[in-house]
Structure 1
């Protein structure tokens, strides 16, 4: 078996398109997941047991079942309850909900890491709940939740490859099809490994840079 780089070069436009789809789904799914996860964590913290219990159960189910199974249920099981989605919207929805379950736990841990005395000080100053969240909890928990959030973002990027199972035209689907078409499976697997490694490394470096900047700003402000 001989490694042929021409296989990659001849299909460069398709590969670039697959990378674009992967990045778009990853960034959009992560953004929705962060926003939804923050809402879930906040609702569980301040909504009482009536809200905390069902949301907690949903989070545990999503975190306790494989992402592959969730995609299968959404894409192939959805039509049985009247929900029929195309591969890309279905993949984005599944990735966003999956991310939200994990990000909600990250934010919930961040809430718990802020000293309660800081919240009490805000209440003594007459701040309402929204002001306490915006002015006290969010700034203090930002540095706490950033490292696990970056790690989770890396995990989500690699999990996005599973979307190929429902024919989402992302990187894994595109490169696998090229490998099957050209009988170049070694080139396809090698290319996938290199591209994912480059993206993951770039995301990790950006996360470390953001953590350094945030830490510097925090200590400068204090």
Structure 2
């Protein structure tokens, strides 16, 4: 089972929005309400930076904004971020079953590792991958396929779990099943339109799904 991180395992929106708005304030750009970031995140840091600045912002300045966000976010990434209710119980139950667990995020790899190390017990996940140089972001399935290969798992036996269309498409592109979670950043409609094989409304439902299959 390959899990997305932000919006799936961790509610990180407040800290992302706070860091982003702090950067925008420094630059004199308009700030955004927190809920706007629901649609800004999910496609990597550079895309987040491009979405939060005015449209006429140059590519060079977008890169500078992304770099500044990284610096500011380092100081606040865990201020308010926490696992969603029921996530730890779900993961502990899954660890008792004959399944391998992994995390795959478009968040930069260093932050992905920080989150997993801070909020989850050691060795809960057999693989943890954020966005790394030279590796395409989701929905490209390259990283997901590498995780499947690491575990010696057939693609068709893998399950991609996430809260966005990007996650659903990642599973589909890799020949995996895709399971959407409704408690995250994106809408049920987006998950359905992006090919979710199943939607769940509470983490405990994933345990039942795994046992039944």
- Normalized against structure 1, the TM-score is what? 0.27
Larger RCO (alpha carbons 8 Å, 6+ apart):
1
Higher strand share: 2
From the CA coordinates, give the structure whose radius of gyration is larger.
1
